[in-house]
């Protein structure tokens, strides 16, 4: 039983030393935290640096807000609500012109393909000629097709089929 307690005691003291050394490292780092031009530097900072700055700003927020400098207030606001991470805009400047150019390009290519298909494609089918349509209408009248509202009804004045 005694060796287990000694092992736990050693683990606890080791964890406590690690915690003290990390807090000592943080306290040394917070003196060198620079909030100058944070908005422009934020994207290029390493995740560890971002974490240190965020912790520093969290400590600053525990103080009276009136004692903070304008630079510190701006940094706190940018980290909390700035256009980075999930709040980064989806579209960049000049995005609309790229979309318009893409749409015009697709319309140009599709119009060209349609012209080539019509110019070099097969002839139109003979079933689309006016004579064929007239013969179809005569046949449908002879068969008494759609006698209530359609081509075989009394007084029908439509084009037929």
Residue 97's pLDDT is 95
Q: What is the DSSP string of 11-39?
A: HHHHHHHHHHHHHHHHHHHHTT---TTHH
Its pTM surpasses 0.85: no
144: region left, alpha or beta (phi > 0 left; psi from -120 to 50 alpha): left
Residue 95, pLDDT score: 92
Residue 25 has what pLDDT?
46
pLDDT of residue 88: 81
The per-residue b/e assignment along 99-132, b for 16 or more CB within 10 angstroms, e otherwise, is eeeeeeeeeeeeeeeeeeeeeeeeeeeeeeeeee
Please report the pLDDT score of residue 115 as a whole number: 95
Which pLDDT does position 30 carry in this prediction?
A: 44
Per run of 10 residues, the mean pLDDT along the chain (length 161 residues) is 55 51 46 78 88 90 89 89 82 92 98 94 86 92 89 86 76
């Amino acid at each position: 039983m005694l060796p287990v307690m000694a092992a736990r005691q050693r683990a606890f003291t080791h964890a406590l030393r690690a915690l003290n050394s990390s807090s000592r490292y943080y306290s040394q780092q917070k003196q060198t935290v620079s909030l100058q031009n944070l908005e422009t530097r934020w994207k290029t900072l390493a995740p560890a640096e971002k974490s240190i700055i965020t912790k520093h700003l969290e400590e600053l927020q525990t103080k009276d807000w009136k004692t903070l400098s304008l630079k510190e207030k701006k940094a706190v606001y940018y980290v909390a609500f700035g256009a980075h991470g999930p709040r980064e805009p989806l579209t960049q400047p000049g995005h609309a012109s790229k979309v318009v150019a893409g749409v015009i390009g697709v319309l140009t290519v599709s119009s060209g393909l349609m012209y080539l298909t019509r110019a070099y494609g097969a002839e139109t089918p003979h079933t689309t000629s006016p004579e064929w349509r007239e013969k179809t209408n005569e046949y449908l009248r002879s068969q008494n097709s759609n006698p209530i509202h359609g081509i075989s009804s009394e007084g029908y004045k439509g084009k037929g089929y």
